Each structure stands twice: as C-alpha cells, then as structure tokens.
Amino acid sequence: AQSVTQLGSHVSVSEGALVLLRCNYSSSVPPYLFWYVQYPNQGLQLLLKYTSAATLVKGINGFEAEFKKSETSFHLTKPSAHMSDAAEYFCAVSEQTGANNLFFGTGTRLTVIP
Amino acid sequence: DAMVIQNPRYQVTQFGKPVTLSCSQTLNHNVMYWYQQKSSQAPKLLFHYYDKDFNNEADTPDNFQSRRPNTSFCFLDIRSPGLGDAAMYLCATSRDAGQGYEQYFGPGTRLTVT
C-alpha cells in the first residue's frame, strides 16, 4: 500500500526565511504526489502535484517541490516565508491505477514568526 | 464561483441521533469522496462514488452510509453517532479516477456530538 511520511509535525520559521517541509513516500512504482494546505476550519487546497512530468513542480503562492526518485522524497519549499503561509500542510500520494484514492501524511503545522 | 459546497458548516447532534451531512458540486465531476478528519490528524477516506458505483473503505464502520442521488449531490449519513464520531467531515471531487486527477475539497462540516 502507498504511504507518505512527513518529518516534523511542527515547523517554525521567521518571516522571510526559507520554508522546507519534508515528505517521503513508500512505493516501488513512482506514484502521483500532492501537497495540500489547510487553513483553520477550512477544507484542503491543492498547492501542487507531481504526475511524472517535470521533477521540479511549481505551485501556487510561491511554493515548489522536487521529486527525487533516488531519495523517494517530495519536499516542499518556499524561498521566503510570509505570515499568510501559517497553516497545516499535508503531503499525499495516490496510485497510478485505480480509484485515485489519496493517502495523506500526518501533516506539518507551519508557524511563521514575525 | 463555489465548486464544492458543504452544508451545514457546523452540525451539532445528540449521541445516537441520526445525522445527515450534504455535499454538492458544480464541477460535474465523476468521483465524489467523503473523508473524516479528527483533530490534529490527517484526513481519512471513508468511501467514494465513481459515478453511481459506491466504494467503501474496508475499515469504515457500518454506522456510516452514503447516498449519491445524482451527479451533483452526495450525502453522508451517520446512523447512530457516538462521541468518537466528532470530527471534521470533508467532501471532495475529482474529474475521474486514476491518472493523478487532483481532488477538490469543500470547506468541511464540523460535527459535534453531545
């Protein structure tokens, strides 16, 4: 079965600093990978997705992620954190066949310090 | 402009009293999903509909049922809510299954069981 591991349930960065949120997946076949953001009491919003095209994926709000097969990783980065980036971030994986079910990581709460 | 709509946003029910949560979509997507998200946890898939074809996750309790009367609407029925069913319930849609189609989430319904 597909699974993802998010290292660090809480990450704090200063405003303007680099954001790095880690995600590793387990799969013998490269899956589809997603990053979603969730603000308090709201649904999930897609930031970006990897579907076996370019390994460096650019998303909304200045976020990007790089798929590294050798490391089975799909870490999310943003060069300069903004106060509005404070939220919960979920990495998710789905299989290349089947029902497109998403399997989520446990999430990383990002705090941005002014 | 709303794409996935969930009503109500907040629902309070009594222990053992049946409750229905609703979801509608304006995207004309084939697939609709229901997730349960408990506090500080990742969303967990309960079931999904591919068109009219219902697919239950193996560990979804029988207490949870779903109906999809047409393409636009999907309902989550909790027959006898327990205190452990208090959670955020998220509805999502995707255009199709497989091929890495992204899921679009509604804002969620927060269920409180008293």
Q: For residue A4, which of A34, A38, A37, A29 has the smallest C-alpha distance? A: A34
**Rounded mean pLDDT of B57-81?**
95
B55 touches chain A (CB under 8 A): yes
Q: Poorest-confidence range of A4-18, A23-37, B32-46?
A: A23-37
pLDDT score, position A53: 74
Output the average pLDDT for chain B. Answer: 93
Distance, in Å, from the CA atom of A80 to the CA atom of B43, rounded to the nearest integer, reads 28
Q: Is the pLDDT of residue B29 over 90?
A: yes
In the structure encoding, which two tokens stand for residue A41, read together?
């009491």
H or E element that contains A26: strand A24-26
Contact by Cβ (8 Å): B31, B50: yes
pLDDT band of B1, cuts 50, 70, 90: low
pLDDT band of A23, cuts 50, 70, 90: very high
DSSP three-state, residue A53: coil
DSSP three-state, residue A85: helix
Q: Do A43 and B90 lie within an 8 Å CB cutoff?
A: yes
Q: Write out chain B residues lying below 8 Å of A27, CB-based.
A: none
- Residue in A43, A104, A106 nearest the CB of B108: A43
Tell me the helices (H) and strands (E) count for chain A, helix number first: 0, 12
In the structure encoding, which two tokens stand for residue A103, read together?
């399997």
pLDDT band of A108, cuts 50, 70, 90: very high
